[in-house]
Amino acid sequence: QFWEFPTVSMGIGPMNAIYQAQSNRYLHNRGLKDTSDQQVWAFLGDGEMDEPESRGLLQLAANENLDNLNFVINCNLQRLDGPVRGNGKIMQELEAFFRGAGWNVIKVVWGREWDELLAKDTDGSLVKIMNETPDGDYQTYKAESGGFVREHFFGKDPATKDLVADLSDDQIWNLKRGGHDYRKVYAAYKAATEFKGKPTVILAKTVKGYGLGPHFEGRNATHQMKKLTLDDLKKFRDHLRIPITDDQLDKDLYQPPYYHPGPDAPEIKYMMERRAALGGSVPERRSKHQAITLPDAKSYEVAKRGSGKQQAATTMAFVRLLKDLMRDKEFGKHIAPIIPDEARTFGMDAFFPTAKIYNPKGQNYLSVDRDLVLAYKESPAGQLIHPGINEAGAVAAFTAAGTAYATHGVPL
């Protein structure tokens, strides 16, 4: 009763999110559920974006103007074994890829502590160094110290070295990446929800293991590390400003005290109020849905009668039965046929003129077979989901349709 959406394994999440957003629009356009105020969010990793499925269907979201879809890609520059693009820049690569696919791109690169330095960078020296520094170096900086960053980053140019001359090593160390600045992240989320006409991707630059201390932050082995030392735990406590004393931690490293600010703490009250306003806790699987009235026996008469002495293909029999079921006034509207470009092969082109192919933009061209009985017809209220030559997309569409009873309370 916990997971809302089946998105594992890695790479499947982006594809499922795209078809979930499409499914939401499909339900709305067919008058089955008002989803006009719903947003789909997918939280992804920069290393995960190398999976073919992660990028392979981006054009669908842009083609259908799915501005109800948002990707948030955590660009900590690392995958399990090492840098994602040690010699390159993964954020710029992803930005170019998503823009080329027709997406709106929002980048959250630097925290607000950098704003003053960038304002003073009148000759562009700092921006030049930022653009030229490869991701492998950015990872290393966060595994070292403020003094190291002063020497190896700002020290590349006398002008940038002067920019931080009045900053201590600790102040340089505390120049955050944008993904750890709550104000910048909030601004990005707000901009994403307000943008119309395109899906949005937020590229947020972060540090893997942020706040866990020097043994964890930015290390290649961070993903495999499972234990905090006492010193790590104390630094993590200080970073989060948790009121637990050294004596409490020294008693038992393996059972540190649990801290809760209390139900009346401002942050707890705010969190609970927001969750209540947004409809409850997440993730939570809700399986209650509207009941479906099954078709009466007449819908099955032809199938029961059979074809007599004449042989009939099973596909032909199936299509005939499906067509009769789709004619049922109550049950029929809940059927969502998904056809990955094989309708004519299986004789399902008979659905084209009546059920029509779902396309939120309708049919804005003159169909070559418009004079035929089985003409190819597209409509915003079309019932057939046609992903094209795209079996993976068909499975993602099937997943969204098959879980609509829990996601929306509307069985498909």
Please choose, from the candidates 78, 45, 44, 50, the residue with its C-alpha nearest in 3D space to the C-alpha of residue 209: 78
Torsion angle, alpha carbons of 49, 55, 60, 64, to 10: 40
Torsion angle, alpha carbons of 279, 281, 285, 290, to 10: -20
- Residue 95 backbone dihedrals phi, psi, to 5 degrees: -60, -50
- The whole-angstrom separation of Cα 177 and Cα 210 is 10
CATH number, domain 297-407, options 3.40.50.300, 3.40.50.970, 3.20.20.60, 3.40.640.10: 3.40.50.970
**Look-up of token digits 């009668």:** 305
DSSP 112: G
Collapsing DSSP to helix, strand or coil, 379 comes out as strand
pLDDT at 214: 79
- The whole-angstrom separation of Cα 408 and Cα 62 is 24
Indicate the domain borders of the chain.
Answer: 39-224, 297-407
pLDDT tens for the chain, 412 residues: list them: 667 787 777 889 999 999 999 999 999 999 999 999 999 999 999 999 999 999 999 999 999 999 999 999 999 999 989 999 999 999 999 999 999 999 999 999 999 999 999 999 999 999 999 999 999 999 999 999 999 999 999 999 999 999 999 999 999 999 999 999 999 999 999 999 999 999 999 999 999 988 887 778 888 777 777 888 888 889 889 988 999 999 999 998 888 899 999 999 999 999 999 999 988 888 788 888 888 889 988 889 988 888 888 888 888 899 999 999 999 999 999 999 999 998 998 889 999 999 999 999 999 999 999 999 999 999 999 999 999 999 999 999 999 999 999 999 999 9
- The whole-angstrom separation of Cα 298 and Cα 321 is 11
- The whole-angstrom separation of Cα 72 and Cα 42 is 6
* Token code pair at residue 391: 């079996």
What would the CATH number be for the domain defined by 39-224?
3.40.50.970
Q: Which pTM value belongs to this model?
A: 0.92
**39-224 against 297-407: fold identical:** yes
- The whole-angstrom separation of Cα 47 and Cα 81 is 10
pLDDT at 239: 87
pLDDT at 1: 66
